[in-house]
Amino acid sequence: MGAHQSRSRHHIRKEKRLPVNSVSTDSYASRDANINPMYKVIDGRRYLVSHNVIYRLPIDDTEVDRLHLQHYTYRYYYGSNYSAPVEELLKNGRARVLDVGCGAATWLLEMATEYPTSFFTGIDISPMFPTEIKPKNVHFIQRNVIDGLPFPDETFDFVFMRMMYLSFTADQWENVIVRELSRVLKPGGWLELMECDQTLTDMGPLTADYADKASGILEDWGIPMNLTEMIPDYMDSVGCFEELASETRQIPIGTWEGNLSQMYLDNVAAAYQTLRTAVGSKYNISAEKWDEITQEVKREINERRCSVQSTRFYAQKKDTGKLMSLE
Ligand SMILES: C[S@@+](CC[C@H](N)C(=O)[O-])C[C@H]1O[C@@H](n2cnc3c(N)ncnc32)[C@H](O)[C@@H]1O
């Protein structure tokens, strides 16, 4: 394994054919009575259109495949599904685990299978998670988490959230998300947040310019550009955690490290490519041109052997943990 590792302490379904550029509610939307999001289809990819949601990655079977792939990449490079010291708790059974923004639920389904006597809940605005075939100790809720988590205080022993940097504004991270995750955690329970840096290491000029343009769009949407630097502050500001620990990995991107890093290159490019319509209005670059640049950037990333730093932040809620007031 070529990934640099460190630990530190701080303070398959078949693709459905979609009509090009249409708005619909469909079978994805009909799975939950509490929420009925609209989907917009652009260039054959399905996107969520919902009040108070800034997330712009597609919600479709191709995205489910991308999320599965991303999951296996992280699991391989970390050698585990989590970093918080919760193994005994999960093995002992009856632990309650929440995965916020569970996506296709690959993590949750693996965890539920590995720890069959604990209970697992996944929550996501988009029902990419399986609704019928799933282990008995798993259930899913479709909800916009910006509206708050639909659980009483102190419900869960372990709350996990991964790769949600495109989902919330800086203000939402600080004033809603981290506070809600902390609120539903039991005293003595563990919170783990896993995110990647927004820049790659060893970027060439083409990649740097491309990444700048992408950042410009994301910033317009309110997405924080330095999330991995801010997470310790967000967690600290809640005031209910013991010392924060973290574990990092350098995830290699490109053909030089094997199949997973080759697939991760495709993964990064696929995520960037979804900005192809947004670059038109901001930079006057056509979607076709953006696709071309994306291919060149892929080549450059590969040649320069870029990687991205991923970090798992984890902390235990104090036994007497009470959230600090927002005033
Ligand atoms: C990049 S995916 C990560 C999925 C999963 N955590 C993983 O690591 O595979 C982000 C997920 O966040 C969900 N999401 C975005 N905004 C949300 C919101 N406001 N409320 C609930 N889920 C949201 C999306 O539907 C998507 O499934």
Domain ranges of the chain: 5-316
Which sign, positive or negative, has the C-alpha torsion 155, 133, 264, 280?
negative
Tokens of 85: 């010291």
Domain 5-316 annotated CATH 3.10.450.50: no
Q: Mutation test of ligand 1: which of 167, 221, 272 has the most ligand atoms closer than 8 Å to its C-beta?
A: 167
How far is 130 from 289, CA to CA, in rounded Å? Answer: 36
Per-residue pLDDT averaged across 5-20, rounded?
45
d(CA 20, CA 42): 6
Pocket test for ligand 1, best of 146, 164, 223, 267 (most atoms within 8 A of CB): 164
* pLDDT at residue 12, as a whole number: 29
pLDDT at 20 over 60: no
Spatial contact of 142 and 127, defined as CB atoms under 8 Å apart: yes
Cα R_g (the chain), whole angstroms: 19
DSSP 8-state class, residue 129 = S
Say yes or no to pLDDT of 207 above 70. yes
| Contacts of residue 273, Cβ cutoff 8 Å, sequence gap at least 6 | 290, 291, 294
- How far is CA 181 from its chain centroid? 15
Residue 90: name the closest of 123, 122, 124, 113 by CA. 113
Q: Is the dihedral of CA 251, 109, 175, 52 positive or negative?
A: positive
Separation of CA 205 and ligand 1 centre (Å): 31
Q: How far is the CA of 167 from the centre of ligand 1 (A)?
A: 7
Lowest mean pLDDT segment, chosen from 32-36, 89-93, 310-314: 32-36
* Cα–Cα distance for residue pair 95/233, rounded to 1 Å: 28
CA distance 135 to 117: 11
pLDDT value at position 273? Answer: 81
pLDDT, position 127: 86
The pTM of the full predicted model, rounded to 2 decimals, is 0.89
CB 277 within 8 A of CB 285: no
pLDDT value of residue 33:
36
Compute the distance from residue 102 Cα to the ligand 1 centre, in Å: 6
Query: Residue 31: what pLDDT?
Result: 41
Say whether 191 sits in a helix, a strand or coil: strand
pLDDT at 182 over 90: yes
Q: Which residues line ligand 1 (CB under 6 A)?
A: 53, 55, 57, 67, 70-71, 101-103, 124-126, 128, 144-146, 162-164, 167
Residue among 46, 106, 124, 218 whose CB has most ligand 1 atoms within 8 A, to mutate: 124
Q: What is the pLDDT of residue 6?
A: 64
Alpha helix ranges (H) inside the chain: 61-78, 87-92, 106-114, 170-172, 178-183, 205-220, 227-238, 259-273, 278-283, 287-303
Question: What's the token pair of residue 239?
Answer: 């005031």
Round to whole Å and give the CA distance between 96 and 159: 9
Q: pLDDT-derived band of residue 25, with 50, 70 and 90 as boundaries?
A: very low
At 18, the pLDDT band (50, 70, 90 cuts) reads very low
Residue whose Cα lies nearest atom 2 of ligand 1: it is: 103
Strand order in the sheet with 138-142: 5-9, 245-252, 307-316, 185-196, 156-162, 96-100, 119-124, 138-142
166 alpha carbon to ligand 1 midpoint, in Å? 8
3-state percent helix, strand, coil for the chain, nearest multiple of 5: 35, 20, 40
User: Is 157 exposed, middle or buried, given 0-12, 13-18 or 19+ CB atoms closer than 10 A?
Assistant: buried
* Average pLDDT score over residue span 199-204: 94
Q: Where do we find the tokens 């079978």?
A: 27
Rounded to the nearest integer, the mean pLDDT of the chain is: 87
Q: In ligand 1, which atom is closest to the CA atom of 48?
A: 25
The answer on pLDDT for 126 being more than 60 is yes
Torsion of CA 50, 51, 55, 61, to 10 degrees: -10
Q: How far from each other are the two terminal CA atoms of the chain, in whole angstroms?
A: 47
Q: How confident is the model at residue 28 (pLDDT cuts 50, 70, 90)?
A: very low
Percent of the chain with pLDDT over 90: 65
pLDDT band with cut points at 50, 70 and 90 for residue 8 = low
**Which amino acid, one-letter code, is at 94?**
R
pLDDT beyond 90 at 295: yes
User: Dihedrals φ, ψ of 38, to 5°?
Assistant: -95, 150
The pLDDT value recorded for residue 219 is 92
CA of 289 from ligand 1 middle (Å) equals 28
